[in-house]
Structure 1
């Protein structure tokens, strides 16, 4: 399994980084895990043809994780002229959220006669799924339920495990999410400012021993975190970083 971090930034593009967008490839199938508002630029920069992607999987419905979906679909319809089926997966309510986002960004577009079949799949802590040939398990995160449910995911393929927190303050659900993972990509937004809906480095450091991943990579960093990034023992994500599992 290969994970290319096309976008490692926060909602505001701090450090010149793209919004969250992860390209996942396993056994010849490809998917995106989150597709934030700047993701079409990130995909173009990386030279990734959208028609080869079979699945979009979302952690939650904030614009920096979900906002690229309308442009992705319209590009598929009118530019790439996609004919291959597309799966759009995410927390409960993903179909309604997708249609609302399309209609908000491009009024009338939610009624398009799509030239490609779209299947919506809800992935919840009670309902795992297999997407693009990868087993996906969801874990509840603590972020902003107005944009949720907010979830982290464990992706398992051929004995390899990739875990991604999405956005979340500390929650004990991060422990089973990360257990035994070959790599954990975890948001760490602030350095020493404790927030109700994002993780800070002090809290992460206090719980570091509870995270059973073999490799920990920090992402979604604010300017404050980026200023300290080179001091940290953990790896920190950057646009274009590739994790080969």
Structure 2
């Protein structure tokens, strides 16, 4: 399993970073875990072809995680000339959200006669799935239910487990999400400012002993968190970082 962080930024592109987008691959299988508004630019910059990507899996429906979907679909239709099935997966309501996003960004596009089949899959804590050859489990996160349900995911394949929180404040659900994972990519928006919908570093550090994973990588950092240059025991994500659990 190989995860390339194409976008490690927050909603505002702090630090010049792209919105959240992870390219996940194993063997010939490819998926994107989140596809924020800047993701097509990030894919082009990284030289990653879109057609081999079989699946887009979303943690929630905020623009910095979900907003790249309309452009990805239109690229598939008109530039990449996709013919293979594209699976669009995520929390309950993913099909409705996808069609709404298409209409908002490109009016009339939701009724396109797509040159490729599109399959929608809802992944919930009660209904895990197999996507692009990965076993996927969902965990409820605490972020913004207007853009949710908001979820974190565990991806398992070939004896390796990668966990990703998506956006969340501290929640006990992070403990089973991380348990036994080879790597946990977790949002860490602020250093010591406690928010109701994002995680701060001090809260994360206070619970570090409960997270049974040997490797924690911080992402989705605000300007204040990016400016905190003191050494930390955790790694900090950056655009282009490669994780091999």
TM-score between the two structures when normalised by the length of structure 2: 0.99
- For structure 2, the 5+ residue unaligned runs are none
Distance 1:201 1:29, change over 3 A: same
Match of 1:90 in 2: 90
Q: Distance in 2 between matches of 1:56 and 1:95?
A: 12
Residues 18-65 of structure 1 deviation map (CA, whole Å, 9 limit, x = unaligned): 000000001210000000000000000110000010000000000000
Q: Distance in 2 between matches of 1:190 and 1:214?
A: 22
CA distance in 1: counterparts of 2:19 and 2:82, whole angstroms: 24
Give 1:155 shift: 0.2
Match of residue 244 from structure 2: 244
Q: CA RMSD in A?
A: 0.6
Conservation of the 8 A alpha-carbon contact between 1:5 and 1:239: yes
Q: Contact between 1:170 and 1:199, CA under 8 Å: does it hold in 2?
A: yes
Partner of 1:46: 46
Partner of 1:72: 72
1:230 is displaced (CA, Å) by 4.7
User: 2: CA distance between counterparts of 1:32 and 1:52?
Assistant: 11
Assess if the C-alpha contact under 8 Å between 1:229 and 1:236 holds in 2: no
2:206 paired residue number: 206
- The separation in 2 between residues aligned to 1:131 and 1:190, in whole angstroms, is 32
Q: Give me the whole-angstrom Cα distance separating, in 2, the residues matched to 1:103 and 1:214.
A: 43
Equivalents in 2 of 1:48, 1:230: separation in Å? 34
* Alignment match, 2:170: 170
Q: Secondary structure at the match of 1:50?
A: coil
TM-score by length of 1: 0.99
**1:115-150, Cα deviation, whole Å (9 max, x unpaired):** 000000000000000000000000000000000000
Instruction: Give the total of aligned pairs.
Output: 245
1:31-42 alignment, distance < 5 Å: 31-42=31-42
Q: Report the 3-state secondary structure (helix = DSSP H, G, I; strand = E; otherwise coil) of the residue aligned with 1:53.
A: coil
Q: 2 CA distance for matches of 1:218 and 1:157?
A: 22
Q: Distance in 1 between matches of 2:203 and 2:177?
A: 17
Structure 1: 5+ residue runs without aligned partners? none
